[in-house]
Amino acid sequence: MVRDTPARGGNQLAYYVLLALRSFRRNRMLTALMVLTIALGIGTSMTTLTVMHVLSGNPIPQKSAQLFRVRMNVFPDHHFHASDDTPDNFTRRDVETLLHDARADRQAAMSAGSLVVISAQGDPLNLEARYTGADFFPMFDVPMRYGHAWSRDDDASRARVAVISSELNEQLFGGKDSVGQTLQVGNQSLRVVGVLGDWDMNPRFYDLSNNQFGDSEQVFMPLSTEMDMKLSTSGNTNCWDNTSNMQAADAPCLWLQYWVELDSAAKVSAYRQYLGNYIALQQHAGRFSHPGEIELQDVMQWLDFKGVVPSDVRLQMWLALGFLGICLLNTVGLLLAKFLRRSSELGVRRALGASRRAIFMQCLVEAGVVGLAGGVFGLALAGIGIVLVRHQPTNYSAYIHMDLRMLLATFALALASSLLAGLLPAWRAMNVAPAVAIKSN
**What does the pLDDT average to over 170-183?**
94
The better pLDDT of the pair 219, 392 is held by 219
pLDDT at 193 over 70: yes
* Confidence at residue 2, expressed as pLDDT on a 0 to 100 scale: 42
**What does the pLDDT average to over 360-378?**
86
Rounded CA gap, 141 and 199, in Å? 9
pLDDT at 440 over 60: no
CA distances from 155 to 134, 138, 181, 227, 282 (A): 7, 15, 20, 11, 26
Percent of the chain past pLDDT 70, that is, above it, reads: 92
pLDDT at 133 over 60: yes
Q: Give CA torsion, residues 254, 258, 264, 267, to 10 deg.
A: -50
Count of residues making up the chain: 441
pLDDT at 432 over 70: no
Strands 294-298 and 67-72: antiparallel
Mean pLDDT across the chain = 87
Per-residue pLDDT band for 24 (boundaries 50, 70, 90) equals confident
Rounded CA gap, 235 and 397, in Å? 22
pLDDT at 119 over 60: yes
* Confidence at residue 434, expressed as pLDDT on a 0 to 100 scale: 61
* Confidence at residue 436, expressed as pLDDT on a 0 to 100 scale: 52
Inter-residue contact 231 to 131 (CB < 8 Å)? yes
**What number of CA atoms fall less than 13 Å from residue 424's CA on the CB side?**
12
Rounded CA gap, 96 and 104, in Å? 14
Strands 188-196 and 161-164: parallel
* Confidence at residue 171, expressed as pLDDT on a 0 to 100 scale: 92
pLDDT at 209 over 80: yes
* Confidence at residue 21, expressed as pLDDT on a 0 to 100 scale: 77
* Confidence at residue 350, expressed as pLDDT on a 0 to 100 scale: 67
Percent of the chain past pLDDT 90, that is, above it, reads: 47
The better pLDDT of the pair 394, 391 is held by 391
